[in-house]
């Protein structure tokens, strides 16, 4: 992913889930918020404002580790395909619904769901 870093900070993760906006798709929920940096150095702030932070979360209720990793791979690949069309400076979290079963879906369905959620959240560049 060119313009995206993994979200590793638990505080940012919780902030996005609590204060960010979200959209519910058929199989996923997408939460976003603007990137907020409390660093006083302008060069570091510019570096982070030109990046997105991304995280995927899958519940244990979705299946065993093989299935959960498959679901995460699908989301990461769909995000990579859409990354160049997205605005920069956002924190993005994608959560799978607990009712999602691998037998019902495939990569193309997840990709469509992500695209629809991104459009509704208006984070595509024009």
Q: What is the pLDDT of residue 123?
A: 94
Q: Is 34 helix (H, G, I), strand (E, B) or coil?
A: strand
Quick one: pLDDT band at residue 50, thresholds 50, 70, 90?
confident
- In this prediction, residues 41-49 reach a mean pLDDT of 61
86: which DSSP letter? Answer: B
The predicted pLDDT at position 101 comes to: 86
Mean pLDDT of the chain: 90
**Domains assigned to the chain:** 4-121 (3.30.230.10)
pLDDT at 104: 87
Asked if pLDDT for residue 108 goes beyond 60, the answer is: yes
Give 15-26 pLDDT, tens digit per residue. 999 999 999 999
The reply to whether the predicted model has a pTM over 0.85 is: yes
pLDDT band at 48 (very low <50, low <70, confident <90, very high): low
- What is the four-CA torsion angle of 93, 21, 109, 54, rounded to 10 degrees? -20
pLDDT of residue 49: 73
Residue 91 · residue 52 · CB < 8 Å? yes
pLDDT band at residue 36 using 50, 70 and 90 as cut-offs: confident
How far is the C-alpha of 40 from the C-alpha of 110, rounded, in Å? 39
């Amino acid at each position: 992913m060119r313009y995206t870093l993994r979200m590793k900070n638990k505080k940012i993760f919780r902030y996005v889930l609590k204060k960010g906006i979200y959209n519910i798709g058929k199989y996923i929920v997408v939460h976003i918020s603007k990137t907020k940096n409390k660093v006083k150095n302008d060069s570091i702030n510019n570096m982070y404002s030109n990046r997105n932070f991304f995280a995927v979360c899958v519940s244990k209720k979705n299946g065993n580790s093989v299935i959960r990793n498959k679901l995460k791979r699908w989301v990461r690949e769909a995000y990579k395909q859409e990354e160049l069309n997205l605005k920069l400076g956002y924190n993005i979290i994608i959560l799978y619904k607990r009712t999602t079963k691998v037998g019902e879906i495939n990569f193309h369905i997840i990709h469509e769901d992500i695209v629809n959620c991104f459009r509704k959240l208006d984070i595509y560049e024009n």
